[in-house]
Amino acid sequence: MTSAGTEATEQGWDEPWYRVRTGRFEASFLLSAGEDLDAVCNVDVEVRLAADGSRWSATVFTLAEVERLMKWWSPTGGELGGRCFWCSDGLVVRDPGIDNMTQVLVGLLDSGDFTQVLQRLDDE
């Protein structure tokens, strides 16, 4: 595993997950095989906080991906003909890529908004 980003201490494949570890959390991104890490625009992520071991989830979309989906739904009638977009644990980011998404997670922790944005998972 190699260093990347300003906060990440380790990152690399643990298939099917791409894991990013920092001093405060481990983020596990569920990617498709061969997906370009810098171009990821729609991905499920599970985050385990180091402080208490709690687990959180989100589906992260870029603005461009939301727009693409809404246009795709327009002729199909899905999501009110593409007039709206929602998902229960959705997080929309401006820029694609795992490094950017990790930086957003760090920012949410820094701002205190993390637990308001991500969905807490029950422990098994």
Domain map (residue ranges) of the chain: 10-121
| Mean pLDDT for the chain overall | 88
φ, ψ of residue 66 in degrees (nearest 5): -60, -45
78 or 10, which is more confident: 10
pLDDT of residue 15: 82
φ, ψ of residue 19 in degrees (nearest 5): -105, 140
Percent of the chain with pLDDT over 90: 63
Output the pTM of the full model. 0.85
